[in-house]
């Protein structure tokens, strides 16, 4: 199974939509994994041509919602969901998708900002201040339990976790690893990954590329970013791996 991967396409912006439309043909594979910040859940029709292209060119496209998926009346909630934009293109949060003998464990993996990063969290994740929205700490615990329980219970040949937020501070670039920001970019699951990690963990959010290991787990990221502000120059549409 050839698996293509990316995140942070930010197609809520016209420049990003045009860029993705121009270069998406560089992806060639069976499955496309998109680790969040792809298109707002409130405005999926803005990317109709991209959804059509994904549906025609991949067996399945699995999308994990990132922080930019929310807003405009759509707020985070407990539990999990699957939301289809095409028959074989869907958002998945706290869901496991089995394709052949591979389990794809999908979760936003909300972080825990802590006091040091609380002001930055209020700026980046403002909907957590809205009435009725569960606390980010509660949703973090739910996500962490979900992903590791899914890995532990999996009987598949291989497991791939797909999250938006990073699972370890080790993969956050130095400029974003400062105390007043780090808690909004990553959870610290480093030791659990060493003990209980999947084969591959794909993540997004930090607008950088990563390919490194913690124990037996390969951690990867291929993140585009906002073209009008700061594109990640290392991003490549052809990124893939084989399981």
> pLDDT by residue (tens digit) across 117-169?
888 989 889 999 999 999 999 999 999 999 999 999 999 999 999 999 999 99
CATH label of the domain that carries residue 233: 3.60.21.10
Domain ranges, residue 88: 2-242
Q: How many domains does the chain have?
A: 1
Tokens (6 digits) for 198: 């999947």
pLDDT above 80 for 230: no
What is the pTM assigned to this prediction? 0.96
96 against 72, higher pLDDT:
96
The residues near 122 (Cβ < 8 Å, ≥ 6 apart) are 128, 129
- Separation CA 234–CA 224 (nearest Å): 8
Please tell me the predicted confidence (pLDDT) of residue 31.
Answer: 99
Q: Report the percentage of the chain scoring pLDDT > 70.
A: 100
The residues near 118 (Cβ < 8 Å, ≥ 6 apart) are none
pLDDT band (50, 70, 90) for residue 57: very high
Sheet holding 240-242, edge to edge: 81-86, 89-93, 60-63, 31-34, 2-6, 240-242
């Amino acid at each position: 199974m050839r698996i293509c991967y990316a995140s942070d396409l930010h197609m809520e912006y016209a420049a990003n939509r045009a860029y993705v439309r121009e270069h998406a043909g560089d992806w060639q594979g069976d499955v496309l994994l998109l680790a969040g910040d792809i298109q707002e859940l409130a405005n999926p029709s803005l990317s109709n041509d991209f959804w059509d292209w994904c549906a025609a060119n991949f067996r399945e496209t699995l999308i994990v919602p990132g922080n930019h998926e929310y807003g405009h009346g759509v707020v985070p909630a407990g539990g999990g969901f699957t939301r289809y934009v095409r028959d074989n293109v869907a958002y998945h949060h706290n869901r496991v998708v089995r394709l052949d003998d591979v389990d794809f464990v999908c979760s936003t993996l909300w972080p825990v900002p802590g006091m040091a990063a609380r002001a930055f969290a209020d700026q980046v994740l403002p909907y957590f201040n809205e009435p009725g929205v569960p606390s980010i700490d509660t949703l973090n615990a739910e996500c962490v339990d979900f992903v590791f329980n899914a890995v532990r219970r999996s009987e598949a040949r291989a497991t791939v976790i797909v999250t938006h937020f990073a699972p370890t501070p080790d993969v956050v670039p130095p400029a974003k690893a400062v105390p007043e920001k780090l808690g909004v970019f990553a959870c610290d699951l480093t030791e659990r990954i060493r003990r209980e990690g999947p084969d591959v963990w794909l993540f997004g959010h930090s607008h950088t590329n990563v390919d490194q290991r913690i124990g037996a787990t390969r951690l990867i990221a291929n993140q585009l970013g906002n073209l009008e502000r700061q594109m990640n120059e290392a991003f490549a549409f052809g990124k893939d791996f084989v399981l």
